[in-house]
Structure 1
Amino acid sequence: MCIDTFAKTIKHTMPTISQKGLAMPQSPIRKLMPYADAARKNGKHIFHLNIGQPDIKTPNVALEAIKNNSIEILSYSASEGFESYRNKLADYYKTNNINVSAEDIIISTGGSEALLFTMGSIADAGDEVIIPEPFYANYNGFATASGVTVVPVKSSIDNGFALPPIAEFEKLITPKTKAILICNPGNPTGYLYTKEEIEQLAAMVKKHNLFIVADEVYREFAYDGNTHHSIMSEPGLEDHAIMIDSVSKRYSMCGARIGCMVSKNKELMSTALKFAQARLSPPTFAQVAAEAALETPKSYFDDVIEEYVHRRNLLVNALEDINGVKVAKPKGAFYCIAELPVKDAEDFAKWLLSDFDVDGQTVMVAPASGFYSTPNTGLNQVRIAYVLNEDNLLKSVNILKKALEVYPN
């Protein structure tokens, strides 16, 4: 082979990307950022309804802990996190009727890493996890990264995305089923599971000897006098229940990236600790802030919940006034799913950024199809995060209303 031919062969050959990597889904929350960047460069102001980044201020006690500390060497922590933080977390959980100790808690880099630890500890490649859909879009990504198959059971906007009948879950259980995964209150639906629904799930996982994983990062955000019911409070689930938690939303500390995995199953937690050791430790400064945040007074949450209830009511009422829009009223968290009179919500979301504005302003929403695992589902739905103040929320809904009046598709 001559040198030129060899060079051409090298030029047109490249290492292959993994099938896992190719299968990894894009985030429906972030995938439209190139459109948003282009819109900003064209001078548009964007109201971000697409991402759950609260505009509520982080508790001052957490920020002060970062500013005023005596750390001289920013060293590793224990792989399971500060013992002092885990002890204080256990005390916090006890006030929420969750009786756990520091040994039942592993601190993680956000709730995301806690979910990865969980999937790595309970499932092998090809095993299955049943999840009511729509669900937090990154569950698809965590499952793909872990070689786990998501088996969806569909909930409906018509009943506010309540828990599907237990019989629908049981139809899907196979020898490869390892767990049921829920988000409570729900992202993207805002649905808050009732005590009866939690009891039904508890009975089912005990009957079929499964794990139940509950993402409870929005625990504080329960509205209208409703109460959050944790799977960790259900009797008889000590070997079955795994709770995922995070400081991101509770204290408006998304950038801290501190979460945790909680379970009373000792074998499970010793397994998960091996995953935690493999990544060395969670971030030290962020743990300092998270530990201090536990001193946040109850009045902070009272004010925050009052604000979110006001925003929810304002948003839902305004959306319901738009012809052809259907919306499920959330009972918790700070998201809702809205069904729009369009064929393709992703195309509509792109069009909002690239081709539409009202006085130089437009909105960014998250197409809801990415929150489903079933193909071609939720195509005319969007997730809206009501994390903007009253004035900006009203402007955003007005822009949506005007856009739907002229949208060509």
Structure 2
Amino acid sequence: MRTQVAIVGAGPAGLILAHLLHASGIETVVIERQTRAYVEGRVRAGVLEQGTVDCLSRLGLDQRLREEGLRHSGTHLSADGDDFRIDLEQASGGACVTVYGQQEVTRDLFEAAEARGLTILFEASDVGLHDIETEKPFVTLRTPSGEVRVDCDFVVGCDGFHGISRQAIPNHVLRIFERVYSFGWLGILTERPPVSEELVYASHERGFALASMRSITRSRYYIQCDMGERLEDWPDERIWDELAVRLGPNLGARLQRGPSFEKSIAPLRSFVAEPMRYGRLFLAGDSAHIVPPTGAKGLNLAVSDVTMLGEALAEFYSERSAAGIDAYSARALGRVWKAERFSWWFTTLTHRFPETGAFERRMQVAELSYLRSSSRAQASFAENYVGLPLG
């Protein structure tokens, strides 16, 4: 099998890149180790930056998003139950975020890929990347129908943090920057209306909480917990009680309690791998970087990566210029590190760390108070939250 670009991973990053390249007349083959149903069923974040929405719109993939997505022009922050609102649209000069679950984005991408005839090889095992330092790389894999070899011009690794693509870069080339946090997010989904029409990020002396949603009838809630906690120690009623405390008396009284139908504990990690290119291999999305979920940058960073890479590959094929692909790693990392900074700052502002004592807590409260009172601080927050422009 021959193609121009082989994409490893059929998550949003890989699928959006395939659509971007298809729009430029570039052939792709997407390789995915799981089934389509498994990929579509993964529960992930759902806050889309303005740039992500714009990208999906340009690709003609925004019909359901426009019909069902929840456009948020603001967000709420709370310090020990005392909450305030930041008008994102006003503070950023007109940009907003849209709540639309990653599962729904993935479903839209798969349906459009099928309609447009994009090639996706599911249930691929024993995937190997070969000769990536040469001009003739290829990928080998095994599918339920037999062994496959994909010859290509470029390989793009969109296969996540645990994927094989990053591992193909030699250790003497790759640099890893990482911080693993001692706590996680205990999250639940429930068929109850959200407590607020916009997201609420709560910083409480007992720890962080987030009130989010997937629709006007389905809520997503998170509370900070130790990574050693067990789900069986957190029955629904205990989670509701803790949410009521951390969100404060006003919002806590408005919680509509109900049974959860999904419950999990997610670890928090800050991670960056440099460079994001080695030979004819490019990394994009979680294969190259992970951010804490505070601020919802993960999916959006992946979209900015593949947008830059799509532009660079289109330039290569249309103009026979390598300038874009040569600049891709530095350009992408410039935006990655800004998003890492914001996610790290927002996490340190709102979470309780093992070293958080009375002094550190006072600093958090003072920072939130400053953010509440300063239009310039709110403008900086909004600029980062709705998404920085591509570098």
TM norm. shorter chain > 0.5: no
- Relative to the length of structure 1, the TM-score reads 0.27
Larger radius of gyration: 1
Flag the structure with higher strand content.
Answer: 2
The structure with higher relative contact order (CA 8 Å, sep 6+) is 1
- Relative to the length of structure 2, the TM-score reads 0.28
